[in-house]
Chains A and B, each alone.
Chain A
Amino acid sequence: AQTVTQSQPEMSVQEAETVTLSCTYDTSESDYYLFWYKQPPSRQMILVIRQEAYKQQNATENRFSVNFQKAAKSFSLKISDSQLGDAAMYFCAYRSARMNRDDKIIFGKGTRLHILP
């Protein structure tokens, strides 16, 4: 069974600085998707960034980028120029690219990110 592990329950970063959130996962599959979701206090889960496992190039979305290490099964999120609005719970998630009967997205436990003014 696939698992997703986020080893940092909480992190803090100074506004305008850079922070990296860690995520590791375990799977025997070769084709899959990885995601980072953000859940601010409003509770809305918002997709931050997505990575296809078959792509070697790391995904980027403005100030958000990932370091995808497939062999190491690592998928970290880097937030550059941190802003107060980045304060939220961040979830790393995995989804198989193979459609099967119990299709699901597997989430880590989350990392709460605090932005210090």
Chain B
Amino acid sequence: ETGVTQTPRHLVMGMTNKKSLKCEQHLGHNAMYWYKQSAKKPLELMFVYSLEERVENNSVPSRFSPECPNSSHLFLHLHTLQPEDSALYLCASSQVQGGTGTEAFFGQGTRLTVV
């Protein structure tokens, strides 16, 4: 049983759709992350919320929009995606305190297919 839960597990959406991915962590962590995992590519960090501060990755297209209403929940809002955005989207959380972080705990991911 993971302390990080992602929904939905699978999502198929058209290029004109708007959808959201949800992540919830039950570990009391204060940092949450979105990663993109594509075939034959390394894990790409998309967004970080650390101590309630958002850190943007400037290489992420604006069609991806994160939202972190509190330290336990993280969303990734999707709109007008492209087929190349099809990938596994992984949410993770960790505890960051006093300048020393720890390992990240991952959810099971959302397999996104853009048609």
Contact = CB atoms under 8 A, between A and B. Distances in A.
Interface in A33-84: 33, 35, 37, 42-47, 50
Nearest to B43: A107
Contacts of B99: 97-99
B72 interface: no
Among B31, B53, B102, the most chain A Cβ lie within 10 Å of the Cβ of B102
Number of chain A interface residues as a range:
20 to 34
B106 interface: yes
Number of chain B interface residues as a range:
20 to 34
A27 to B, nearest CB: 15
Main secondary structure of the interface of A (DSSP, over half): loop
Contact of A43 (B98, B104, B108): B108
Nearest to A49: B103
A44 B48 contact: no
Interface of B: 2, 31, 33, 41-43, 45, 48, 50, 53, 55, 88, 90, 92, 94, 96, 98-109, 111
Which 4 A-B pairs have CB atoms at the shortest separation, nearest pair first? Answer: A45-B106, A107-B43, A99-B99, A109-B42
Interface of A: 33, 35, 37, 42-47, 50, 91, 95-99, 101-105, 107-110
Given A103-B31, A105-B103, 7 more contacts: A44-B108, A50-B103, A96-B101, A99-B98, A99-B101, A103-B55, A109-B42
